[in-house]
Amino acid sequence: MASENGEGGGGGGFGWGFILGGLIGAVAGAYLASGPGREQVEGLRTRTIELTGRTDELRARARSAMAEGVSAARKRRAELDEEAAAAPTQPEEAPGT
């Protein structure tokens, strides 16, 4: 029936393209990562140390920011509690009166 509709049954284009793309990607990856192993390991080690130091710095900044936020929230709550205590209380009216 495929030949009746003019379709030649050539659905392998995607599969071949996928395989060819995979091969090109593998070759490109091998080419880009073709440096000596020791240099790559040393580069990764250096980068890991840099990122660890940055992580420690960011963690300290985050803790400081959280402490400031908690302090500000407690201060604001105390202010609101004082305002509520100083506000005159009005008796509640019964519904329908």
What is the per-residue pLDDT across 22-75, written as a single tens digit (0 to 9) for each? 999 888 887 777 666 777 778 888 888 888 888 888 899 999 999 999 999 999
Region of 84 please: left (phi>0), alpha (psi -120 to 50) or beta. Answer: alpha
Residues 7, 3, 14, CA angle at the centre, nearest 5°? 35
Provide the whole-model pTM. 0.41
- Residue 1 binned pLDDT confidence (cut-offs 50, 70, 90): very low
Domain range summary for the chain, segments of one domain joined by +: 37-85
pLDDT at 3 over 70: no
* 7 has pLDDT over 90: no
